[in-house]
Amino acid sequence: MFAAHIAAVGEYQEGGWRWLLATHGRASAIFTVLAGVSIALMLSRSRGLNPVRHTRIRVAVRGVILIALGWILGDLGTPVDVILDNLGVMFFLALIALRWKPVVLIGVGAGVLLLGRELLAPVVAAMPQWLYDAPLLHELWGIHYPALIWIGYVLIGMGIGKLAPWRGAALGWLAASGIALAAVAYGIGALLLTNAGEPVIWASIWPPPDQWFVVAAHSYSAPEMLGNVGVAMFTIAACCLLANWLPRVVWPFAAAGSMTLTLYSAHIVLIAIVGREIVYEPSNLAWIVLCVSCLVFASLWRWRLGQGPLERVVTSASNGVAAFDELRVTPRA
């Protein structure tokens, strides 16, 4: 996400690095898939008397916090489309799926990504403006990260998390499946987009029919979104493999990964302080400095203090409410 927001990409900026184009659209998709993985891990590690109820409360509290934090960061006026409030709404949508089996989660998630835009777009086109712009409801179908479509990423992440392919041959299957899915999805998009002209990023989720197979970042087409899932699967497998093989080498990255909410929020605040120029006039030097700074901060914080600052607040709040609920419903002796 840092690269997508402040790095110079060769496709768009003179002197930029063309390979950074891969971060556009895929970074936020991986972020959302990992949110689903985290929900599955919360469920598997729940210590409550009723694990599903305990996890449901924790996820709901986290959803409220993400929505509030997303609105706060959005009000800073940066040119970044903050994903956190949409992600919070997705957390609430995911509550109905906590008991689903992995195959159902992955199947429904894939179905949503495959058909979601085509089913939702005519509904959005027909609804009145006041309903489209209503707080919280807007996050369901707005232009940026529409929760009713992006919930597919979360469901697939939950399915992956429940399968827990973190070691051994399962990692190989996850990586191979990701490569195959990305190749097929992006390949189909490229083959079917023969008469569509130049790919664009849409200002609406209802493009003309000849653009339904665009694979440009944030086009929300089925090939683009399913291809992003394949990239996410491969990335998760590769990171787990490196963590298993070289735990000390990748430890700083694991430390940063343990506090993504803190680092994501901090970089939005940094953009607000520095100004819009850091986005509109991107620099790879600024991007590298930001990445190194975050790795150093995360490593020192993890080493000395453990859980990240915002992560600690979110965990304490969600665990506290869940514990209170369990105390309230537990029969007295």
Mean per-residue pLDDT pooled into runs of 10, the chain (333 residues)? 87 77 90 96 85 94 97 94 96 97 97 90 88 92 92 98 93 96 89 54 49 76 93 96 94 95 96 92 92 97 95 95 80 55
Q: How far apart are CA 146 and CA 143, in angstroms?
A: 6
Exposure b/e, 6-41, CB count within 10 A at least 16 = b: bbbbeeeeeebeeebbebbbbbbbbbbbbbbbbbbe
Q: What integer pLDDT is reported at residue 179 of this predicted model?
A: 97
Q: With beta carbons less than 8 A apart as the criterion, state whether 252 and 297 touch.
A: no
Alpha-carbon gap, residue 21 to 35, rounded angstroms: 23
Q: Which pLDDT score is estimated for 34? A: 97
The pTM score is 0.92
pLDDT score at 99: 95
Looking at residue 12, its pLDDT comes to: 64
pLDDT of residue 208: 56
